[in-house]
Chains A and B, each alone.
Chain A
Amino acid sequence: MLPYVARRAVWLTAYLVLVLAPVLALLLGDVPPARGFWTEFSSAIAYAGLMMMGLQFGLTARFRYVTEPWGEDVIYHFHRLLSLVALGLVIAHPIILFAIDPARLRLLNFFQAPPVARWAALSTYSLIALVAMSLWRVRLRIRYEIWHSTHILLAVVAIIAGMIHMIGWGFYLVDLRKRALWIGLSIFWICLLLYVRIVKPLFILRRPYAVTEVRKELGDSWTLVMQPHRHSGFRFTPGQFGWLTIWGGPFQITGHPFSFSSSAEVADGRVEMTIRNLGDLTSKIHEVPIGRRVYIDGPYGAFTIGNPADMHVLIAGGVGITPMMSMIRTLADRGDKRPVVLIYGSGDWESITFREELKALEKRLDLEVVHVLLSPPAGWEGEKGFIDAEVMMRHLPPPYRDHEYFICGPNPMMDAIEKALGEMHVPLAKYHSERYSFV
């Protein structure tokens, strides 16, 4: 297996080749007479933009080999940013054409424009709506499930309408081989979507889990204990997560990503997820009946222990403790002798999820738990406020760059810690982070 850095380089190169090769293939064989530079440029960026849109289906198809070197949160960050680039390219295409010949502005009249221009408009408007809904989903108060269904629908419309526009316009795609290439690519993208939404759920359907316990935890959180039903389950690495579907089957767009909180050393395939009440679907976890059949698509994520390290430093904020708990429980079950420092930020003493178990684990493992409280009780002598470089340096032995760091928590905390680690001269390769709000 290649190291992550090499695999990242391979995937980046593959991505660029996949975007550019079909565009440059338009130059092969019989080509129509050239138009001006800017017209040709605007065509090329439109083709590249469509390719980037299509490849988004691949980025979100949850192929483990693709996502592993990056981490799922970075892949989704890529996905979001690349959609902005693709949108920019697609919008720049007509703008350049309008600038070359302002008479073309009449094509903006959707009802009087020829069909080939209407398909282009439909594709562009779908893409704009898709990006706008994704950027402002929370602000627009669109429910996750509604947004997700609409997102997929708009993506398919944007791709198909864009392709019809290109074929309708002809020009490069008059050549049958080139037309076949681009139609084939579009079919492939749609097949990726069908794989994620139909083929994969079929496999997941055959491997259900049964809820065997719903356990109350401190910090308004609940742990779901799930046992594989008539199969052996899967092995995961501590720190990984799965897409959990509780209500409905795996075909519905109701899966939500949650970290495993249980030890990876459990032999019978049982997995646990600890979920904090954040007001949405998570507010109904305590209502899940015992015996309920649920579905888990996983494991995913590169936020895992395994690299050689003199010391594991786990930095958690709130419910970000769940993957850390899996790591600590696993290290304890494995009898790992290396020191572990958990710096754990919580609101107050009573909202510290796993507080008592962590205290017990300090006896089984070389574990030091440092609680950092926002609202400490009277007489509290521990750390208070937010986790920063000073807190870390008070509890970690130098040299800081030798330890392996894992960070999970709310976005502002993650940004602050990553900055602090930079100030402590900890190299990028030594710390791992996972943002649980990546979708």
Chain B
Amino acid sequence: MRRLLAERLVVATGLIVILMSALFAYLRVST
């Protein structure tokens, strides 16, 4: 279960990194 929690956190981390990278790209092309 603790490993499951760790797995969910890793997925969340990956998603946040991807979303922030998309924000990075958006900020670059929109300014």
How many angstroms from the CA of A422 to the CA of B4 in the assembled complex? 13
Chain B, Cβ-Cβ closest to A32: B28
Select which of A16, A20, A36, A422 is within 8 A of B1 by beta carbon.
A422
How many angstroms from the CA of A333 to the CA of B22 in the assembled complex? 58
The SS class assigned to the B binding surface is helix
Given contacts A74-B2, A422-B1, contact A41 B17 (CB under 8 A): no
Chain B, Cβ-Cβ closest to A20: B20
B20, A82: Cβ atoms under 8 Å? no
Q: Smallest distance from the beta carbon of B25 to chain A beta carbons, Å? A: 4
Given contacts A48-B21, A74-B6, A418-B1, contact A40 B13 (CB under 8 A): no
**Within 8 Å CB of B5, what residues of A?**
74, 428
A40, B28: Cβ atoms under 8 Å? yes
**Within 8 Å CB of A77, what residues of B?**
3, 6-7
How many angstroms from the CA of A34 to the CA of B18 in the assembled complex? 19
**Within 8 Å CB of B3, what residues of A?**
73-74, 77, 435
Q: How large is the interface on A (under 10, 10 to 19, 20 to 34, 35 or more residues)?
A: 35 or more
B9, A12: Cβ atoms under 8 Å? yes
Given contacts A74-B3, A433-B2, contact A82 B24 (CB under 8 A): no
A89, B22: Cβ atoms under 8 Å? no
Chain B, Cβ-Cβ closest to A438: B3
The verdict on A65 contacting chain B, using a C-beta distance below 8 Å, is: no
Select which of A34, A45, A428 is within 8 A of B21 by beta carbon.
A45
B17, A428: Cβ atoms under 8 Å? no
**Within 8 Å CB of B31, what residues of A?**
34
Chain A, Cβ-Cβ closest to B22: A41
**Within 8 Å CB of B18, what residues of A?**
45, 89
- How many A-B residue pairs have C-beta atoms within 8 angstroms? Tell me: 87
**Within 8 Å CB of A37, what residues of B?**
25-26, 28-29
B28, A85: Cβ atoms under 8 Å? no
**Within 8 Å CB of A81, what residues of B?**
6-7, 10
**Within 8 Å CB of B25, what residues of A?**
37-38, 40-41, 44
Select which of A82, A421, A433, A435 is within 8 A of B10 by beta carbon.
A82
A15, B13: Cβ atoms under 8 Å? yes
How many angstroms from the CA of A71 to the CA of B10 in the assembled complex? 16
Chain B residues within 8 Å of chain A by Cβ, number: 23
Chain A, Cβ-Cβ closest to B12: A12
Given contacts A41-B21, A78-B9, contact A27 B27 (CB under 8 A): yes
The verdict on A224 contacting chain B, using a C-beta distance below 8 Å, is: no
**Within 8 Å CB of A335, what residues of B?**
none
Q: Smallest distance from the beta carbon of A299 to chain B beta carbons, Å? A: 20
Given contacts A23-B24, A34-B29, A40-B24, contact A52 B2 (CB under 8 A): no
Q: What 1/0 flags go to A75-87 for Cβ under 8 Å of B? A: 0011001100100
Select which of B6, B13, B21 is within 8 A of A23 by beta carbon.
B21
Q: What 1/0 flags go to A21-63 for Cβ under 8 Å of B? A: 0011011000100111110110011001000100000000000
B2, A34: Cβ atoms under 8 Å? no
Given contacts A40-B29, A422-B1, A428-B5, contact A78 B20 (CB under 8 A): no
Interface residue ranges, A against B (CB under 8 Å)? 12, 15-16, 19-20, 23-24, 26-27, 31, 34-38, 40-41, 44-45, 48, 52, 70-71, 73-74, 77-78, 81-82, 85, 88-89, 418, 421-422, 428, 431, 433, 435
Q: List 18 A-B contacts (CB under 8 A).
A: A12-B13, A16-B16, A23-B21, A35-B28, A36-B29, A37-B28, A40-B28, A44-B24, A48-B17, A52-B17, A70-B6, A74-B2, A74-B3, A78-B6, A82-B10, A85-B17, A89-B17, A418-B2
Query: Given known contacts A48-B20, A74-B5, what 17 new A-B pairs fall within 8 Å (CB)?
Result: A12-B9, A16-B17, A23-B21, A31-B28, A40-B29, A41-B21, A41-B25, A45-B18, A45-B21, A48-B17, A52-B17, A77-B7, A78-B9, A85-B14, A422-B1, A428-B2, A433-B2
The 9 A-B residue pairs whose C-beta atoms are closest, nearest first, are A44-B21, A40-B25, A41-B25, A44-B24, A81-B10, A85-B14, A34-B28, A40-B28, A418-B1
